[in-house]
A and B are shown apart, each in its own frame.
Chain A
């Protein structure tokens, strides 16, 4: 099993739709979780951290499910500008402390 797994997509959704992505992780001791956004030919940029209690930032909601070892990202009222690849990032505890990036989920919001 990969350390961090994401559905690569693409998810093609109309403007205004609600879309959700999941990301599973294999290390039950992981403590830190993030969603990054990467536009085509650009560097990844932090979208939001994911907290145990779940957190919301405008149209974006992140959730953590420790029992099932996954995090989710919900985007409401999708905009054309939300089109990007969304990377799940998890820290790996044990040996060296480091962050593992998922392969990303590609989102296309269609007019």
Chain B
């Protein structure tokens, strides 16, 4: 499966600042996603990162707050802008691959970024 390098792994940030999270994949992938996992909660899809065009955001998430870049098929960034303590969460990037064993789609995740906003 694809190997995803996500960084930073964790950060503590002041409210009002912004943090950019990077995900680098070791192979070209079409579908790349950004998720948020708040404490004790499951994963919530923020947006689909589209190569060469604007990201597709889910309900409740907007580009001004979570701008996303996808300059090529192996790299994407998510920025958490104008942070508040409510943004404290784990942010994960994910790619969709086709399993060679089953020929079905599977999701592989980066190791996550643990963000604390103070």
Contacts and interface: CB of A to CB of B under 8 A. Distances in A.
Contacts, number: 43
Contacts of A104: 42
Contacts of A89: 107
Interface in B74-118: 92, 99, 102, 104-112, 114
A103 B41 contact: yes
Interface bin, chain A = 10 to 19
Contact of B104 (A32, A41, A44, A103): A32
29 contacts: A32-B104, A32-B105, A34-B106, A34-B107, A36-B107, A41-B114, A42-B111, A42-B112, A43-B92, A43-B109, A43-B110, A43-B112, A44-B43, A44-B92, A46-B106, A46-B108, A49-B106, A89-B107, A96-B48, A96-B56, A96-B58, A98-B45, A98-B48, A99-B45, A101-B42, A101-B43, A101-B44, A103-B41, A103-B42
Q: Which 5 A-B pairs have the closest CB atoms?
A: A43-B109, A103-B42, A101-B43, A101-B42, A43-B112
